[in-house]
Structure 1
Amino acid sequence: MLENSVRHKKVCSGVDMRGDRSPHLPDHEIGGTWLVNTYPGVACDVPAHIYTFPFEPNPDWSAFYAGGKEIHDYFMRAVKNHRLDRDVKTSHKVVHAQFDEHEGIWKLKIEYNSCVFDDGCNVLISVTGFLSHWKWPEIPGLHDFKDYSDKRIAMIGNGSSAIQIMPELAKDAKHVVNFIRNPTWITPGLGNSVINGKVNRAYSNDEKRAFRENPRKLNKHRKEIQHGSNKAFAMAAVQATSQMMLDRLGGDADLAARLTPDWEVGCRCATPGPGYLEAFTQPNVSLVTGHISHIDATGIVTKDGTHHAFDVIVCATGFDVSHRPPFPIVGLEGIDLAEYWREEPLAYLSLACPHMPNFFLFSGPNAPVGHGSLMAFVSPDPAVIEEFNTHGDEIMERLVWSGGYRSWYKNNRVDGRVTAIWQGSAMGFREIVEALRPEDFSIMYRSKNRFRWMGNGRTKIEGTPGADLALYLKK
């Protein structure tokens, strides 16, 4: 009998789905990166009005760039409004996943309350993200340091997190010293032409009221920001960005020379960084460039042998962005995804990978940062993966992200493939993934005859007493 509606069980981590679903979250509540990241100044460098669900616009954002707590509160409201938590299992950590080729299902081991139990699913979706697993710097003696408060503070790093933390530390610290190996670009924000080029600004009560009362006005504002954001794919010129950084440093040419890169804008993750450059104009903030030799019980020793005494060390050194899963995922022929991705993470449109049937990714490798009943399983063809990545690499060679600089786009390497960024614009990615390309996938069936799904040629509804057998006639 032909089923009118076939429902497979899906297991995913960090997202709810319609149908038979079972989202597992390792944390004690929903929130993801905005739950676990609570450092001073935590915020999003994407404008708040386009960092929203399309079905849940928010007229009440406090500022152009919103803080982490406000973002978390927004997501929790969306969860409540749409009952997205009704099937979510919190404090459930997937610790192992293996595909059973005979049964065509994923067999899972899940940890809950210090106990491990078995589960299974037809489709496994990984939504683990890559901004939740902190990455400690490889500095000898790091954990020998003694932590005290309200004294001299060392901040290691100048990535997105460090840029957000600095202004907050500078408010109350006796002195803050930022240790950086290389400078980074501080750029105009995405779509910030909407706020006349300002670094950030608050929305007034009148503006928020107008957005609430006039959804068209809110949508127009959001479209203006999104339009400017998509235009940012063509990055700003080096000269203009350098001048903007000099202006924000109060015209201090010496400081600007130490903080301004000599490589392309966008080669490394660029951020608007409200308050970061301005902090260096304060008397209690200074900069040290170069490499750190080691850390001892009282401070930091740089390569030139200088000892810098501190009471607090802040490691703003980013996250593990290797895309390797935090638990074993074993696919066809016993291939472990973490091992398979040890050198280079390869995926199909950042959504699927070879040897992992019925396994899909959200924001996988090369994502735009940062979407049948009797069929046994579906997996992208390895040859398709190779061709896709070869063509993508050719495009990437012409883009600034492949420049000769160490960045998390290349898994913190100077050379090598760019694995964290889509090979084009966000609009290009959207258009490409809108239409399914079934010819790119290998489909395996449980039966030798692929048309066994037809059953006895009748539908299930025909055997249901009182069912509408003319449901296809529209009113």
Structure 2
Amino acid sequence: MAEHEHVRVAVIGSGFGGLGAAVRLRREGVTDFVVLERASAVGGTWRDNSYPGCACDVPSHLYSFSFAPNPDWPRTFSGQERIHEYLEHVADTFRLRPHIRFDSEVKQARWDNDKLWWEIETTGTASGTLTADVVVSATGPLSDPKVPDIKGLDGFGGKVFHSARWDHDYDLRGKRVAMIGTGASAIQIVPAIQKEVGKLTLFQRTPPWVMPRADRAITKAERWLHRQLPFTTQARRGLLWGIRELQVQAFTKRPDELGMVERLAKRNMYRAIKDPALRAKLTPDYRIGCKRILLSNAYYPALAQPNVDVVASGLSEIRGNTLVAADGTEAEVDAIVFGTGFHVTDMPIADRVIGAEGVSLAQSWKGGMAALRGATAAGFPNFMTIIGPNTGLGNSSMILMIESQLNYMADYLRQLNVLGGRVALTPRQGAVNGWNNRVQDRMKRTVWNTGGCDSWYLDENGRNTTVWPGTTTEFRQATRHVDVGEYEVVRPPAQAAPGTSRRKKKAGVSAA
């Protein structure tokens, strides 16, 4: 990295959010930007999650950028390798690689109140300090694995790894394997490894609702049609989007309507699980949709096999190679696979971002994540988050939300250009509170808050700071333009004009 290098925009991460931001920046005429990637390849979560059976639970034509349609998706629900290939293709097609700094992890990003820019320290092959007018954090909530603090884990004599850090050099054949967790990763891993392991023990705290997966190969004729007539690809995408938009009401306003979906899910289980005792273990006691609805045709059949045990109790302790559940059930294993999710409501990047008042984003969010329109946080000028607080989805494609946030990012930069000179925008605390209060008020009647479950959508205070309680159309409308009235304009003291916010000597921005 060049000494004292300065750029207009620094993007953190090269998954869907980071690559999408890079494409949009180029389309907006911004060429003075870098993408800081801690790994040696693009792809984000689709690079890191290479476990057996890894695939997307959103249809391929909807889980891709509208500006980069892929007519050659091989299946309706694509696997990890294909999605990773797609992201590599996006990086090449839009000539993004010259902007990407691989093996460059952000150690800290600190706002300079005097110069009105971000100082970014990176580690790795291109370690050094970079400054940027604007920082766009696109690390995503599914980037840092979460492993529970289990008593005795350090003393386990076998192999241990998280699903997002799969050890492909470890041979599972004939081994006694423990799968911890029953989330989206686990229900794909279990059927993928069940036939080769000697014994598989699934430690389940809460059973998931599992619906059939309508997956099939996309025919050569379909792919030919999509290549020859590109509008058919967009039409297919539009149909998939419309169906999911119609489903949102049941999740956000009328959860009782999901009873019929529960009956379909139970029928899916009953077809494969004949043992009444196992059925009882696998039947959820909460409203479907409260946790993410999972899709699989192979999960239940795998659990019914003689080499699989389901322990309907969370892992409590490890004694040597013996795993002990909360209910006292014991299992001797050779390997432990944690499918225990990620740091979603406590993203590690938040500890590394230091705002205008000298506090970290994590400290600012100690009472719960909150950002204006899911993008900007009070006290953090010219800092934006892609897939920020309350922008997640429970039934549709996150790419739709990402593209809406890219619209907001683009208009944010336009507003800075209109203001001119050395300038920053920081959201007013009142605007952040108002937006967050409206979101949380809408959240009260959603299935995620009334469904009777304890999901990863909730933070340690029991607040849902993860999911968007509306349609993707509503979010796109809310993020179409930046309302400058929701922000304070910050300039260096020498440039500040009457009526313009001036920095406080310590805080850096005036109070909202």
Band the TM-score falls in, shorter-chain normalisation: 0.7 to 0.9
| Corresponding position: 1:443 with 2:458 | no
- The question of whether the paired residues in 2 share the 8 Å contact of 1:353 and 1:385 is answered with yes
- What is the SS of the residue equivalent to 1:172? coil
Instruction: Give a deviation string over 1:257-294, Cα, whole Å, max 9, x none.
Output: 32222212211122213422232233332311013231
TM normalised by structure 1 equals 0.86
Tell me which residue corresponds to 2:324: 301
| Alignment-mate amino acid for residue 39 of structure 2 | D
Q: Which moved more, 1:368-377 or 1:396-405?
A: 368-377
- The question of whether the paired residues in 2 share the 8 Å contact of 1:368 and 1:429 is answered with no
In the TM superposition, 1:387-402 aligns within 5 A as 387-402=434-449
Question: Which whole-Å CA distance do the structure 2 matches of 1:68 and 1:169 have between them?
Answer: 16
Aligned partner of 2:365 among 319, 325, 341: 341
Question: How far off its partner does 1:435 sit?
Answer: 2.4
In the TM superposition, 1:183-332 aligns within 5 A as 183-187=207-211, 199-233=214-248, 234-235=250-251, 237-250=258-271, 252=274, 253-326=276-349, 327-332=351-356
| Alignment-mate amino acid for residue 457 of structure 2 | Y
* TM-align CA RMSD: 2.2
Tell me which residue corresponds to 1:39: 51
Q: Structure 1 residue runs of 4+, over 4 Å off?
A: none
- What is the SS of the residue equivalent to 1:124? strand
| Alignment-mate amino acid for residue 42 of structure 1 | C
Question: Which whole-Å CA distance do the structure 2 matches of 1:318 and 1:387 have between them?
Answer: 31
Tell me which residue corresponds to 2:8: 9
Q: Which moved more, 1:153-162 or 1:273-282?
A: 273-282
Question: How far off its partner does 1:110 sit?
Answer: 1.5
Question: Which whole-Å CA distance do the structure 2 matches of 1:315 and 1:342 have between them?
Answer: 27
Q: Which moved more, 1:284-293 or 1:307-316?
A: 284-293
- What is the SS of the residue equivalent to 1:334? coil
- What is the SS of the residue equivalent to 1:224? helix
Q: Which moved more, 1:235-244 or 1:302-311?
A: 235-244
- Classify 1:247/1:73 alpha carbon distance in 2 versus 1 (closer, same or farther; 3 Å): same
- Classify 1:438/1:325 alpha carbon distance in 2 versus 1 (closer, same or farther; 3 Å): farther
- The question of whether the paired residues in 2 share the 8 Å contact of 1:42 and 1:67 is answered with yes
- What is the SS of the residue equivalent to 1:409? coil
- What is the SS of the residue equivalent to 1:333? coil
- The question of whether the paired residues in 2 share the 8 Å contact of 1:144 and 1:297 is answered with yes
Question: How far off its partner does 1:26 sit?
Answer: 0.7
Question: Which whole-Å CA distance do the structure 2 matches of 1:358 and 1:215 have between them?
Answer: 38
- The question of whether the paired residues in 2 share the 8 Å contact of 1:154 and 1:178 is answered with yes
- The question of whether the paired residues in 1 share the 8 Å contact of 2:375 and 2:385 is answered with yes
Question: Which whole-Å CA distance do the structure 2 matches of 1:249 and 1:147 have between them?
Answer: 35
- The question of whether the paired residues in 2 share the 8 Å contact of 1:64 and 1:202 is answered with yes
Tell me which residue corresponds to 1:106: 118
TM normalised by structure 2 equals 0.80
Structure 2 residue runs of 5 or longer lacking an equivalent are 1-5, 160-171, 252-256, 399-404, 406-416, 501-512
Tell me which residue corresponds to 1:172: 196
| Alignment-mate amino acid for residue 224 of structure 2 | R
| Alignment-mate amino acid for residue 222 of structure 2 | E
Instruction: Give a deviation string over 1:362-415, Cα, whole Å, max 9, x none.
Output: 00111133223225210110011111111211110010111342111003x5x6
| Alignment-mate amino acid for residue 77 of structure 1 | H
In the TM superposition, 1:360-439 aligns within 5 A as 360-369=384-393, 370=398, 371=405, 372=417, 373-403=420-450, 404-411=452-459, 413=460, 416-439=462-485
- What is the SS of the residue equivalent to 2:316? strand
Question: Which whole-Å CA distance do the structure 2 matches of 1:199 and 1:448 have between them?
Answer: 59
- Classify 1:356/1:244 alpha carbon distance in 2 versus 1 (closer, same or farther; 3 Å): same
Question: Which whole-Å CA distance do the structure 2 matches of 1:108 and 1:268 have between them?
Answer: 37
Question: Which whole-Å CA distance do the structure 2 matches of 1:127 and 1:137 have between them?
Answer: 25
Query: How many residues get paired?
Result: 434
Question: How far off its partner does 1:254 sit?
Answer: 4.0
Question: Which whole-Å CA distance do the structure 2 matches of 1:367 and 1:243 have between them?
Answer: 28
Question: How far off its partner does 1:322 sit?
Answer: 1.8
Tell me which residue corresponds to 2:504: none
